Chain A
Amino acid sequence: MHEFLQFTVIGIAIGAVYAVAASGLVVTYSTTGVFNFAHGAVAMVSAFSFSEMTVTHGLPVWLALVVVIGVEAPILGVLVQLLMRRLFGASVERSLMVTLGLLLILLGAADEIWGGQSSRQPGQLYSGATSYSVLGVHLTVANLLVMIVAAGVAIFLGFFLKRTRTGVAMRAVVDDPDLLAMAGASPARIATMGWIIGVVLAAVAGILIAPLQGGNLSQTTLTLFVVNAYAAAVFGRLRNLPVTFVAALGVGLGETYIGNYLQQYEPGFTQNWLSVPSQTLPIVFLLIALLILPQDRLRAVGRAVTTRIPKVASLGQSLVGGAAVVALALLASVALGTDWQGIVRQGLIFGIVALSLVLLTGYAGQVSLCQVTFAGVGAFAMGKVTGGGSWLGVLAAVGLSAGVGMLVAWPTTRLRGLYLALFTLAVAAFADAWFFTNTNYLFDYNHSSSLLIKRLGLFGISFEGNRAEMILLAVAFALASILVLALRRGVFGRRLVGLSDSPAACATVGLNVKATKLAVFGISAGLAGLAGALYGTNQGFVGALDFQFLISLNVLLMLVIWGARSTSGALVAGLCSAVLLQKGGNLSGIILGVGVLVIGWLPNGIIGTGWPMLRELVRDRSPGEAPAPEAELVEDAGHAA
């Protein structure tokens, strides 16, 4: 009983921090309509700044608090609002990409600034060891402080949002900013308040959670801790603050009880194949929260209709484009050094992952943050079937990934774009924390940290050589892009575009929305699985770190930059992702994030926008040619470009 009470106190303290973080998410979402995926990154940066000031430079705590919470966080909030302002009224998918880009920028910046030092102590609000004993339960001052802060935040938000004019206007602005302006309030100023409060609460949560987590500060752990807050916010349906607070306490308590009791009664549980490391628990909570969300109404309009619908390449054009890719790969295999050949091979594989996203996100408008996870599943299947080197393994990889993809899609077919993104994020985080790291039981029977995968062979030709492998990968990419374009030209492709433009209209004409979503997820995950299998054969082995969430994010954002509805965009995006991962270092996140912020608002990306512009330019400069009656937009003729 005493133990239970002790766990309860700890659980409430942890839940209180989640409550602070989650309420920040809710305030920002209900004011601006943007779900801030960079919330955790803000918390991380704040915790690191606080530690830098108090631990490294020995500044007094109050001064550091004033600087981090009173200056740094509000400035960040204003900056974010300036970035988001341009996106007002943009689709969920687009604003989501921008906050994801921000996440990468903050992670990259933290890496650049603090990455060199390996161990770093979290800053303490109260460094003394004083604790009170209530009914035999230890109540440390640190825990008490956390609870007081959370209660203060709850009371403040309750009063502010219900009783003050600015608070009421914040609840109104997302519904009708024009009307708010007509009533004499500035919507931009009100939205800025929403961002500032959200970012400040994230900063407070980051400073509070860092010491509770124990040990050294970790960028990834701190960034992903907000997944716990996501769960609480989703329980509150991103709008309801009281429910969010209660849910946050529940998540904190549940995590503490389960973690501690499992540790106690099953000491060996971390070695068990069913092991549930404590960081997977919040992800499970998020999955549960998303699963019990009520069915969303079908939206009439999925995304803003672009002024020009890109024309899809014909079969002939896609064949020529495919041949060009193979020819270029041949050239590259001769011209490039070993180092760059490796990058091109990896780029072709990421290109196939990007192709799977063209189908899923570009055409069907479904955002997936776990595409590389599907690839990992494929690699796993490839390695398990005769240890690689077998075409049966490739089949198994495609089949298993497609199955997993449909399984992931099943509960989300009734959810809106944002929740789908959250769900796939949860799946990716869960796979990172549980599946791919579970090396002992799942990945290799030989207890080594990687799974060996042999190269393929065909008709007596072995692809042992790196050049042959490059050609094989190019052929695979070409075939995959021809397949994706063929799907797009057919009835299925028109269904996908309909699904993205207006699910409600699709349902009214008798199209089975659920079946279509499942099918596109299956095909897309299957393609990603193929990429994973090839990734394994190319590298010779796969390990726990090959299929991390951040790689999914890299490929997705890169594709958005180059053009999410274009197969040539997928090729360039794949190659660029590989270059960034291999050569970019700490700066890769910043480069990618800035790229998304700058270019992400072009609906068709660089290629989808630049290609037709280039054509028109060329046409203007050659007056001798008879101008075509209408500017023709060929989306994918640019394979070779």
Chain B
Amino acid sequence: MSEVSQGEGWWQASDGKWYAPSLHPDVASGEPEPEPAPEPGVPAGVVVSPERNPASLELVGIRAGYGRIEVLHGIDLTVPAGSVFALLGPNGAGKSTLLKVAGGRMRPTAGKVLVADHETHRHGGADALARAGVCSIPEGRGIFPNLTVRENLLIWTYQGKVRLPEVEERAYARFPKLGQRRKQVAGTLSGGEQQMLAFARALVGNPRVLLLDEISMGLAPLIVAELYEVVGQLAAEGITILLVEQFIQTAVAVATRAAIVVHGRVEREGSPAEIAAEAAEHYLAGSGG
């Protein structure tokens, strides 16, 4: 995995600023991106559990914050079952907080979260929600660095009614590199491999709703493309996905629906193309930070 330095694929937009290759419209549409050749002997399309049962996700009047500081000032959002919903917006707008609330990692001060029309906060914390099929992939590296790859996968089995051999099979089939490093301590993997390991959780738990928080952060564009390929595949299977992504084009390429969040409120909701055009405005205007 090599880091892309400036100049190599970076492009200058009409505003005169330089942007990363993955922000380029061509990259997002996937044309010039070289597809990684599938490993011989590994089935290209991985069959995840066939009986997907996608659930809708609904946030009603959500208010939440840290201590006395309120971050979300009443969010109403409906993610229909089987859709891919992209949340865009400047830094500090409250996107990650929104995902935390949706995933049960944070209690809202007001409002409710509904998964398949059931109120989730009655079920308990993030662990109960995870077992009920809401899978959160957090910002940063969602792995246990002091455990081996295999041991991480063993913990992923808490989520669904699956056994370790099955989980290993699915994860290694999708990410063969993990299979080569199954006994390695996860903290010593490269950033991309760590994210693959974190992402393997979305493959094994048979989730009904997937919450992705900036999975591209700090990763090389090739890896990001690989991860988003999996996102596309999961979406094709009908999993409901709510994602936060800093690279607008990447997000818009997989999304079926999008919204802009500014200052803890949903500014606008619409088709990905409309929202992408408007989001750039919000980002560049610096309306949030």
Contacts and interface: CB of A to CB of B under 8 A. Distances in A.
Interface of A: 165, 168-169, 171-172, 175-176, 178-187, 307
A163 to B, nearest CB: 9
A176 B142 CA distance: 9
Nearest to B125: A181
Contact of B138 (A165, A172, A179): A179
Nearest to B198: A179
Contacts of B145: 175
Contacts of A181: 105, 125-127, 130
Contacts of A186: 125, 127-128
B205 A184 contact: yes
Nearest to B146: A175
Interface stretch (B82-90, B152-160, B174-182): B152-160
A183 B201 contact: yes
B151 interface: yes
A183 B138 contact: no
Contacts of A165: 154-155, 157-158
A185 B127 contact: yes
Given A181-B126, A184-B131, A186-B127, A168 B159 contact: no
Interface in B109-155: 125-128, 130-131, 135-136, 138, 142-147, 151, 154-155
21 contacts: A165-B154, A165-B155, A165-B158, A168-B154, A169-B158, A171-B146, A172-B144, A172-B147, A179-B138, A182-B103, A182-B126, A182-B130, A182-B135, A182-B136, A182-B138, A183-B158, A184-B127, A184-B131, A184-B160, A185-B155, A307-B67
Nearest to B148: A168
B64 to A, nearest CB: 16
A167 B247 CA distance: 39
Nearest to A174: B146
Given A172-B144, A178-B126, 16 more contacts: A168-B147, A168-B155, A176-B144, A178-B105, A178-B138, A180-B155, A181-B125, A182-B103, A182-B105, A182-B136, A183-B127, A183-B155, A183-B159, A183-B201, A184-B160, A184-B205
A180 B155 CA distance: 8
B147 A185 contact: no
A187 B159 CA distance: 14
Nearest to A164: B154
Contact of A172 (B136, B155, B157): B155
A186 B136 CA distance: 15
Nearest to B137: A182
Contacts of B130: 181-184
A128 to B, nearest CB: 45
Closest 5 CB pairs of A and B: A184-B158, A184-B130, A184-B159, A181-B126, A181-B127
Contacts of B205: 184
A341 B154 CA distance: 65
A181 B136 CA distance: 10
A298 to B, nearest CB: 20
A187 B130 CA distance: 13
B104 to A, nearest CB: 8
A598 to B, nearest CB: 23
Contacts of B146: 171-172, 175
Contacts of B142: 179, 182
A419 to B, nearest CB: 20
Nearest to B145: A175
A178 B137 CA distance: 11
Contacts of A169: 155, 158
A178 B103 CA distance: 11
Nearest to A185: B158
A401 to B, nearest CB: 42
Q: Which of A168, A179, A182 has the most CB of B within 10 A?
A: A182
A184 B201 CA distance: 11
Nearest to A178: B105
Q: Which of B130, B138, B147, B155 has the most CB of A within 10 A?
A: B155
A307 B151 CA distance: 39
A171 B150 CA distance: 14
B160 to A, nearest CB: 8
A186 B126 CA distance: 8
Contacts of A183: 127, 130, 155-156, 158-159, 201
A311 B177 CA distance: 56
B144 A187 contact: no
Contacts of B127: 180-187
A180 B159 CA distance: 10
Nearest to A172: B144
Contacts of A180: 127, 155
A171 B205 CA distance: 21
B22 to A, nearest CB: 26
A303 to B, nearest CB: 17
Contact of B151 (A168, A176, A179): A168
A175 B142 CA distance: 11
A165 B153 CA distance: 10
A620 to B, nearest CB: 19
A187 B104 CA distance: 14
A249 to B, nearest CB: 26
A254 B160 CA distance: 50
B205 to A, nearest CB: 7
Nearest to B133: A184
A187 B155 CA distance: 12
A172 B187 CA distance: 12
A175 B125 contact: no
Contacts of B201: 183
Contacts of B67: 307
B208 to A, nearest CB: 13
A307 B157 CA distance: 40
Q: Which of A169, A178, A183 has the most CB of B within 10 A?
A: A183
A549 B215 CA distance: 53
A184 B130 CA distance: 5
Contacts of B144: 172, 175-176, 179
A575 B205 CA distance: 59
Contacts of A182: 103, 105, 126-127, 130, 135-136, 138, 142
A80 to B, nearest CB: 21
B130 to A, nearest CB: 4
A7 to B, nearest CB: 39
A171 B130 CA distance: 20
A27 to B, nearest CB: 15
Contacts of A185: 127, 155, 158
A183 B160 CA distance: 9
B216 to A, nearest CB: 19
B113 to A, nearest CB: 15
Contacts of B138: 178-179, 182
A554 B46 CA distance: 63
Contacts of B126: 178, 181-182
Nearest to B100: A178
Contacts of B143: 179
